[in-house]
Structure 1
Amino acid sequence: MFSTRQFLGTGFDDVERARRFLAAPELSACDPAALLDGFAQAPDPDLALLSLVRIAERAPEVAAMVEAPTVRVRLFRLLGSSEALAEFLLRNPGQLDLLRLGGTDLAQQEPAALRRRLLASVGAAGQDGAPVARLAGQEGMIALRVAYRAEVLRIALRDLTAEDPLRAMPGVGAELADAAGAALDAALAVARADAADRFDPTEIAAVSLAVIGMGKCGARELNYISDVDVVYVHAGDDLDEERAGAIAGYLAGHLAQLANAPAQEPGLWEVDPNLRPEGRDGVLSRTLESHLAYYERWAQSWEFQALLKARCIAGDTELGAAYEAGVAPLIWSSPERDGFVESVQSMRRRVSDNIPAAEVARQIKLGPGGLRDVEFTVQLLQLVHGRIDETLRVRDTTTAIDRLAEAGYIGRGDAADFDNAYRYLRVLEHRIQLVSLRRTHLMPTREPALRALACAAQPAGAPKRQPASALTERWQQTKRQVRSLHERIFYRPLLATAANLSTDEVRLSPEAAAARLAALGYLDPPGAMRHIEALTAGVSRRASLQRQLLPVLLGWFAEGVSPDAGLLGFRRLSERLGQSPWYLGLLRDSNAAAERLCRILSSSRLLTDWLEVSPESVAWLGNDDELEPLTHGQLLRENAAKLRRQATAEAGMRLVRLNRRREMLRTALADGAGLLDIDGVGEALSNADAACIQAAVELAENEVVGGEEAATRVLVVAMGRQGGSEIGYGSDADVMYVHQPLDGADNARAQEQATRIVTRVGQLLTANLKPPVPAELKLTVDAALRPEGKQGALVRTLESYREYYGRWASVWERQALLRARPMAGDATLGQQFLEMIDPIRYDRGLEETELREIRRIKARVESERLPRGADPALHVKLGRGGLSDVEWLVQVLQLQHAASHPELRTPSTRPALEAIAGAELIPSEEVVLLDDAWTLATRIRSATLITTGRASDVVPRGWQDLEMVARWCGYEAGQGAQLESEYRRATRRARHVFEHRFYGID
């Protein structure tokens, strides 16, 4: 009938068996072209062919169905998707008429219509109140099961022929749940009839029983085959409580047997009552009062999460509505329970941990990136935020995702991804279960089954079969996406913090907010309220997000030193960013960004100002990688690219200086987040300065040389703390300028050209540019450490330096050269400069007269340069045991021993200290004391500028400034005095080491 190529192209797996079955007499009346078209529609043509032959044997009219195009699509999509429903048609061939239904009859049915049909199937139609079936026992059971499975068949036909299965999925789940509820209503009617053998009919009629659907059935998102989770609630009118409970228990137990006990027509699904109070140990049915008493006193957090889906699905609707109304306040207040969020998160982890290892990779429902990840995430968001936002009080997942996105609790993009992924996973789950109508959530492993699943999940009439590899790839991608969203949203710190607030606090009502502000330590609650009102006024998405965030952020601001300043800074920043969609979403979604921002705004005046100028930098707070400072090479390349695009030196330098300020901000944010130590801070800031100066050198050379012939090469040498890569925020750059005339160039012309270049460098780094730039964008270069100081030439040749240092260098100039490092300009000249100065600074040793001279200069610095009135014990630079003491001692040891210990040849203090300890020049415990004092002094110096906005070399004395500095240095709240005490102790010990090793004082 068909060629091998046609068989394979249609999707058959066993071609020879297909040939035999197609030759069966039962299919002889079928048009081959129609059959070929039908099998092309079937997800599993081999299964469809086998089922078609068997049905045609029992129902010859199926041949006519193959001829009708619309019916043919339904028939082959069904037979190629579900062996179990084909078996149902074999047992009940009369149900084939469902394939001929018109579009209206095949469309989603109203719950009331389903209930009427299922009740009619057991002879309970038209009865009000608590209907009693005319068909009892096995007869009623079989009639009910056939009627229910006919409804499932009708639903499956619509589902399998949908133009967009993902769009159709919620309607399919809703109708399956409605059909299950209707089946339970009919089963209850049969149970009432059967109960007459045990109880008085008047007593049975006096007992009202409501079946409360839980889980997927309660949420109207049931699978084709799934446990139907239920809770039973009853009322007995004037009956004795024990008697009413016995009747209700019988009805509930018998109802479950009717649904799933062995019989000629297979069972429907298991009715699972284990979500009831006390689980398996509890009575099967309780009164409403008993339910509420249990939930108010004994229920665990997970039980309220389960109640989120509770809905009356069968039985007494008034009693069911009373149950729903009674538990609702308990559901929406449950997040206020201690540890609620953490318990939900822990439960999700337990579910994952209990998956058999062999099934983890195949799980659609429970595994990482599966349906449970979506459901747990959505339910937790609903419970936490639904206390005050009643729009979130919905049961089904897709509607909840929409509502969460509309209100801003999750981003629109995340919501769309979550929704699409959830629908896709549910469609896969449905198609897998349809094959055998068996409860499973595992992806198949065999290639033919995967190919069939891929086709079944496609829209009906898709032009090309999807290969198994495409299905697997999309499923894996969906899992990764879901897991990423789940981990980012489900574990938000905002959720746990928001859940710990009272409902009034979350609502931000004026009275509750004012009381909370005062309790949190805001000094100006009325002013804070004005900020809150300005941020939350209106109905915009931005205002909605602010209302979500502020109850939590207010507490985080209060953990800083100045919560009022933090809230004001947040308002300024929010107004500056306006309607930027990413900003508030970042604070809502990021595990770190919101808390970091609150800490910065309430603890750092300088960074608050910088963030207001560069608000886009807030985005870095949510990603540690973004907070990693750019390397020197990256900065050079970025600056070079920007310079190429600018017409003037001033325009290019403005961008370069903005880059430097950006990197200073990035470094400070990383510092505040604890991602950089002081060595990393110094290196990052020095790299930013070096890249900026390199750009200035290049611009100055291009501008000065212009059309004339280049006469020299220029080098900028970093000195002092800049040379050691140990600068702080806003430090000047100590430098020396070197030039080397090119071969054949006139020396005088080279000197004049070099002077113009370095003069222009200083101007470019400090000039007021247009448009104006903030003062902190200026980088002042200080060349006072050059030979002869301010009286000497601004720039010298390499030979001039060689001659000067060889003939005239004093010991303090050799000491200064210890920290010299090429910073910008000609790299070859930089290497030549190092080769020239290394013998001068490292190889000469230190004579006794030179040591006395260094001691004299140090003593003079202490006595003359310490500001009048400054406390020597608290001056971090020149005070006792401060930076100067440590650095001068290190440099003396370098001058004395670098010739014999090459590891001492470093411009940086801490590596030099490490080398001193390694060489055992002084005991390691003394090195530790020196390092502790130096690092703490450096930290305090930078922290003072960052937190107060003012540069200072003195440990702050005011309480708030000292507290801000202490918090930046890593101390807990209220430990400013401890910082001062520890600083005094560290520097006192360092001073003792310094006096002993530098001055020889015991």
Structure 2
Amino acid sequence: MTAAPGRRSSTFTRLLRHGFTDPSAAERLLQSEQLAPVRTDPVLLDALGATADPDLALLGLVRLVEAQADHPGRRELLDTLIAAKPLRDRLLGVLGASAALADHLVRHPLDWQALVMYEPQDLHPGTAEFERGLAEASDPVSLRVAYRRCLLSIAARDVCGTTDLAETAAELADLATATLRAALAIARSAAPEDAALCRLAVIAMGKCGGHELNYVSDVDVIFVAEPADGADEQKALRAATQLASHLMRICSETTVEGSIWPVDANLRPEGRNGPLVRTLSSHVAYYQRWAKTWEFQALLKARPVAGDIELGEEYVASLAPLVWQAAERENFVADVQKMRRRVVENIPAAEIERQLKLGPGGLRDVEFAVQLLQLVHGRADTSLRSPTTLDALKALAAGGYVGRVDAAQLDDAYRFLRSMEHRIQLYRLRRTHLVPEDDADLRRIGRSLGLRTDPVTELNREWRRHSSVVRRLHEKLFYRPLLDAVAQLAPGEARLSADAARERLVALGYADPAAALRHLEALASGVTRKAAIQRTLLPVLLGWFADSADPDAGLLNFRKVSDALGKTPWYLRLLRDEGAAAENLARVLSAGRLAPDLLMRAPEAVALLGDGDGGGLEPRDRAHLEQEILAAVGRADGGEAAVTAARGVRRRELFRTAAADIVGSYGTEESPAMADQGALVDLVGGAVSDLTAATIAGTLRAVVRDGWGDMLPTRFAVIGMGRFGGHELGYGSDADVLFVHEPRDGVDDHEASRAANTVVSEMRRLLQIPSSDPPLLIDADLRPEGKSGPLVRTLNSYKAYYRRWSLVWESQALLRAEPVAGDEDLGRRFIELIDPLRYPAEGLGDDAVREIRRLKARMEAERLPRATDPTLHTKLGRGGLSDVEWVVQLLQLRHGWAEPGLRTTRTREALAAACAAGLVSGEDAATLDEAWVLATRVRNAVMLVRGRAGDTFPSDGRELAAVGRYLGYGPGHVGDMLDAYRRTTRRARGVVDELFYGG
């Protein structure tokens, strides 16, 4: 009987209270004829309410009873539901958690009887028990039915809490093992002649090999075979390949009973491109010569499961020594971490926040961390060699390789995340690692995990909490034990031995582990607040140092900065509380010599690396720089003190620029490396050029003030030339300049000239006073008559010279002339004077063009240093800076009079204008721009890494690796970097030959 409209029946209310979300539908199902014998039983409703999804469980029960309508077992099922609580809980638990298993029960109505047995020996079946359950399967269809029947019992034990996560995963792996054996038996019976020719072993890899399988997962395998006695090897391998292929089809193909799971053999040598089956000796030869680090990592979980078990065990024994030598490979840890990063990068952006397995803080983070530590320390400690993640984690904690609290938290998080994954897959028996977005799905998952008050909210909270724990511990697992080994705060706890600590540091890329341990001890030992904060910071910092080409330098530099600023209250607080500051500092300290050297002379510049009042890493414009430097000069007592003050500002701003460049090149967790390399080049070129101009302006002010007070007897201007005028200075570039003056009214020419020359001489003297800062050399060799001409001329003298004597190379040099300091009006008039020379009306004549080509060819022949590889010289080499700039400058000289966009001192801007005007094709312009940007980046990298300028790649291996890291090439890929440089500049030279030399 149903309730009257507008009134709720007592059953409706009870259904709501028991967790049904659609009580009306549930009430109708309970009133159905199929449930008549049990609908009044009060325990049924309680049992349904205890399931993950009571609505789903009730619907599944009705469908199951309907499927037995004409079967004598129907009454038995209903009687058992009333009398047998264990069976009732198991059956309803499965129906409430898995629509897919409910469908199986409807298709096979008697399979519910697989849940009746509840004897102690049946609680944790192994491979042998599952083999008995599959014994009658003689074809793919019957194998699928038997497999699902066994899966039904595993799921029942799981959802009822009879087994925990680890036991369930082990049972699933044992069922997979039994299934592979059954599938191989079917394949052999179908081709007995093949079976007679070979010994075939199936090696389980991945989660199946590790005894930690999911409900639905690819089962990773490797096949190894040997000829049977007297058989030909090639025939044996063909036979084994036929058997292996048939086995894979039996498990993977879809039939009327669905599929079991895909068998994936892509972890084999050479992956999909390699033969499906190899002999043992072929496997060993491949791993000895060609295998990559990740392949040894995969072999951690190798386990013989089917076929010739003796051959399988021989395979594992033969490769085990190679697995435990993998940590000795160059760039071992970097390779493993790079593979992990690549996995994350390949996750679609829309899925990354819902990825239980592959996302940050996901299951793979735990597995990678554990495997990495196993490979590092398992060489000497055989207790760490378990293929099962949780068992290996327990062993790592017992051995002191991972802190016990960390290990317990990681174990808890891993169990929770894997349990979530199991419940998600169990619902439809589909392979997925994405957390669903629908509230109904989340509610079912939450209830299945025992979250009953507010399942959706509680599930999301617990999921995020455990993911956060994994992310945090993943960062510190490698490094926290190193600190425990040196800090000696808890003598009773297990900790890394000195040998183990050194071993781990070497694996992480530290070349001098003994020194690294001393630095760690100095930083982290003791009970002071400072040491406590360092112990919080160092696990993450050490990881960032290890991500660089020179971890030792990063750690040493960090100790130096900490020693200098350790008593400054804001320093450690900045690193602890401002997310970007610590990572930025780690990147800067381990990227080379220049930035750390600048920082050591002004440690307070660390404040620039944060997000607060330090101003950040955005370079300041010329106006602000000049204002600050002029103010500092005004407060200084004498010219030398003034230049010292100006150098202090320059030092800080050079550090700011270098730090911005490094962080933009390396990227951080919050901000990836800049994709637009040209933007980084423009940032550095503009910032260093502005800073140089401001420093020269300050020096000029100091000289004038000390010699003449407020007014110099002659107007005076500094004209930037070359890269300085083009806003393209690098960290180690000289500043090319011209000096021009004009006597003030009533001032004798001789007096004015003497004053101007005194200014130039004093400026050069002050700027060349020895200093530990990067030098700022002003070079006036581009002046009329070169080194033999006067250092400074009047504007009229320049006018007379250019009118009578100017050569074509001087017109070319003037293309980049721009006022940078001194009298603005005089600077403007100098530019008006030279514009007709650099942008000649109607362009250049043929003779002038030939002269420019002759000069370029002569420069290439004479100025490139001997014994220098011309393909790797960034300035004068093939397709380098000079090649690109001469092409652009020739276009400016020929067409600047007609194309306003070409009238710029900046190379990239002029190249873009030439492209826009149709003078260069878009493809050629892009080729030249790419080469120019790359060559500039290499020059900047060399200065950052070595602390001194250079036009070629370093010869030292570590310095070369650091240049590669700056350019985006990871450990072991400097060869790729050099190949890419040669390829890029070779293409550019082809364009140069066409555009400059005419083909």
Q: TM-score range by the shorter chain?
A: 0.5 to 0.7
- Residue 584 of structure 2 contacts residue 609 of structure 2 at CA under 8 Å; is this kept in 1? no
Counterpart for residue 157 of structure 2:
158
In the superposition, relative to structure 1, how do residues 9 and 718 fare at CA in structure 2: closer, same or farther (>3 Å)?
A: farther
- Residue 556 of structure 1 contacts residue 599 of structure 1 at CA under 8 Å; is this kept in 2? no
Q: How far did 1:151 drift?
A: 2.9
Counterpart among 431, 434, 447 of residue 439 in structure 1: 431
Counterpart for residue 551 of structure 1:
506
Paired letter, 1:10: H
Paired letter, 1:234: A
Counterpart for residue 758 of structure 1:
none
- Residue 38 of structure 1 contacts residue 73 of structure 1 at CA under 8 Å; is this kept in 2? yes
Q: 2:341 & 2:181 partners in 1: Cα distance?
A: 36
- Residue 56 of structure 2 contacts residue 99 of structure 2 at CA under 8 Å; is this kept in 1? yes
Q: What is the TM-score of this pair, normalised by structure 2? A: 0.53
Q: How far did 1:212 drift?
A: 0.4
Deviations 1:483-505 (A, max 9, x none): 6666x479x9x99xxxxxxxxxx
Q: How far did 1:329 drift?
A: 2.5
Asked whether 1:46 is paired with 2:55, we answer yes
- Residue 364 of structure 1 contacts residue 441 of structure 1 at CA under 8 Å; is this kept in 2? yes
Asked whether 1:22 is paired with 2:30, we answer yes
- Residue 328 of structure 2 contacts residue 507 of structure 2 at CA under 8 Å; is this kept in 1? no
Paired letter, 2:156: L
Counterpart among 56, 65, 87 of residue 56 in structure 1: 65
Deviations 1:313-367 (A, max 9, x none): 2233221111111122233334555665555455445545555566555443344
Q: How far did 1:670 drift?
A: 7.1
Matched residue of 1:240: which SS? coil
Counterpart for residue 256 of structure 1:
248
In the superposition, relative to structure 1, how do residues 143 and 570 fare at CA in structure 2: closer, same or farther (>3 Å)?
A: closer
What pairs up with 1:471-870 in 2 under 5 angstroms? 471-476=459-464, 478-479=466-467, 482=470, 488=475, 540-541=495-496, 543=498, 546-548=501-503, 550-551=505-506, 572-573=522-523, 582=536, 585-586=539-540, 588-591=542-545, 598-599=552-553, 610=564, 624-625=580-581, 667=605
Deviations 1:746-797 (A, max 9, x none): xxxxxxxxxxxxxxxxxxxxxxxxxxxxxxxxxxxxxxxxxxxxxxxxxxxx
Counterpart for residue 202 of structure 2:
211
- Residue 424 of structure 2 contacts residue 432 of structure 2 at CA under 8 Å; is this kept in 1? yes
Deviations 1:796-851 (A, max 9, x none): xxxxxxxxxxxxxx999999xxxxxxxxxxxxxxxxxxxxxxxxxxxxxxx99xxx
- Residue 327 of structure 2 contacts residue 507 of structure 2 at CA under 8 Å; is this kept in 1? no
Q: How far did 1:275 drift?
A: 2.6
In the superposition, relative to structure 1, how do residues 78 and 614 fare at CA in structure 2: closer, same or farther (>3 Å)?
A: same
Matched residue of 1:625: which SS? helix
Q: How far did 1:173 drift?
A: 1.0
Q: How far did 1:176 drift?
A: 0.6
Deviations 1:211-234 (A, max 9, x none): 100111111111112221211222
Counterpart for residue 305 of structure 2:
313
Counterpart among 293, 311, 323 of residue 315 in structure 2: 323
Matched residue of 2:220: which SS? strand
Q: How far did 1:722 drift?
A: 12
Paired letter, 1:60: R
In the superposition, relative to structure 1, how do residues 444 and 122 fare at CA in structure 2: closer, same or farther (>3 Å)?
A: closer
Asked whether 1:82 is paired with 2:98, we answer yes
Q: 1:274 & 1:881 partners in 2: Cα distance?
A: 58
Unaligned runs of 5+ in 1: 124-134, 496-505, 507-530, 630-661, 688-716, 730-809, 816-846, 864-869, 884-912, 926-966, 979-1002
Q: 2:308 & 2:237 partners in 1: Cα distance?
A: 15
- Residue 376 of structure 2 contacts residue 507 of structure 2 at CA under 8 Å; is this kept in 1? no
Q: How far did 1:99 drift?
A: 3.5
Counterpart for residue 167 of structure 2:
171
Paired letter, 1:219: G
Deviations 1:82-109 (A, max 9, x none): 1222233344444434434436245333
Deviations 1:869-922 (A, max 9, x none): x99964559xx9999xxxxxxxxxxxxxxxxxxxxxxxxxxxxx9996768799
Counterpart for residue 263 of structure 2:
271
- Residue 943 of structure 2 contacts residue 949 of structure 2 at CA under 8 Å; is this kept in 1? no
Q: 1:611 & 1:553 partners in 2: Cα distance?
A: 27
Matched residue of 2:236: which SS? helix
Of stretches 21-30 and 100-109 in structure 1, the one that deviates more from structure 2 is 100-109
CA RMSD, 1 decimal: 6.1
Paired letter, 2:455: Q
Paired letter, 2:301: K
- Residue 400 of structure 2 contacts residue 495 of structure 2 at CA under 8 Å; is this kept in 1? no
Q: What is the TM-score of this pair, normalised by structure 1? A: 0.53
- Residue 137 of structure 1 contacts residue 194 of structure 1 at CA under 8 Å; is this kept in 2? no
Counterpart among 215, 230, 235 of residue 226 in structure 2: 235
Counterpart among 398, 415, 420 of residue 390 in structure 2: 398
Counterpart for residue 520 of structure 1:
none
In the superposition, relative to structure 1, how do residues 325 and 349 fare at CA in structure 2: closer, same or farther (>3 Å)?
A: same
Q: 1:32 & 1:722 partners in 2: Cα distance?
A: 96
Q: How far did 1:282 drift?
A: 3.9
Matched residue of 1:274: which SS? coil
Counterpart for residue 281 of structure 2:
289
Matched residue of 2:325: which SS? helix
Deviations 1:178-206 (A, max 9, x none): 1211222233334433433x46xxx73x7
Q: Answer with 1 or 2: which has the greater Rg.
A: 1
Q: 2:636 & 2:505 partners in 1: Cα distance?
A: 47
Q: 2:526 & 2:253 partners in 1: Cα distance?
A: 67
Q: 2:191 & 2:289 partners in 1: Cα distance?
A: 34
In the superposition, relative to structure 1, how do residues 570 and 438 fare at CA in structure 2: closer, same or farther (>3 Å)?
A: closer
Q: How far did 1:177 drift?
A: 0.3
Q: 2:213 & 2:583 partners in 1: Cα distance?
A: 46
Deviations 1:627-650 (A, max 9, x none): 999xxxxxxxxxxxxxxxxxxxxx
Matched residue of 1:13: which SS? coil
- Residue 557 of structure 1 contacts residue 602 of structure 1 at CA under 8 Å; is this kept in 2? no
Matched residue of 2:304: which SS? strand
Deviations 1:532-575 (A, max 9, x none): 9xxx9x973474674246537995679xxxx98x8866665566
The number of aligned residues is 665
In the superposition, relative to structure 1, how do residues 236 and 20 fare at CA in structure 2: closer, same or farther (>3 Å)?
A: same
Q: 1:356 & 1:597 partners in 2: Cα distance?
A: 32
Deviations 1:720-740 (A, max 9, x none): 9899987979xxxxxxxxxxx
Matched residue of 1:464: which SS? coil
- Residue 136 of structure 1 contacts residue 193 of structure 1 at CA under 8 Å; is this kept in 2? no
What pairs up with 1:334-349 in 2 under 5 angstroms? 334-337=326-329, 344-349=336-341
Counterpart for residue 681 of structure 2:
none
Q: 1:66 & 1:404 partners in 2: Cα distance?
A: 48
Counterpart for residue 180 of structure 1:
176
- Residue 407 of structure 1 contacts residue 544 of structure 1 at CA under 8 Å; is this kept in 2? no
What pairs up with 1:82-121 in 2 under 5 angstroms? 82-102=98-118, 104-105=120-121, 107-109=123-125, 111=126, 114-115=127-128, 117-121=129-133
- Residue 122 of structure 1 contacts residue 190 of structure 1 at CA under 8 Å; is this kept in 2? no
Q: 2:269 & 2:175 partners in 1: Cα distance?
A: 26
Asked whether 1:427 is paired with 2:411, we answer no
In the superposition, relative to structure 1, how do residues 922 and 278 fare at CA in structure 2: closer, same or farther (>3 Å)?
A: closer
- Residue 12 of structure 2 contacts residue 24 of structure 2 at CA under 8 Å; is this kept in 1? no
Matched residue of 1:29: which SS? coil
Q: How far did 1:296 drift?
A: 2.5
Of stretches 59-68 and 347-356 in structure 1, the one that deviates more from structure 2 is 347-356
Q: 1:372 & 1:227 partners in 2: Cα distance?
A: 15
Paired letter, 2:431: R
Q: How far did 1:52 drift?
A: 0.7
Matched residue of 2:269: which SS? coil
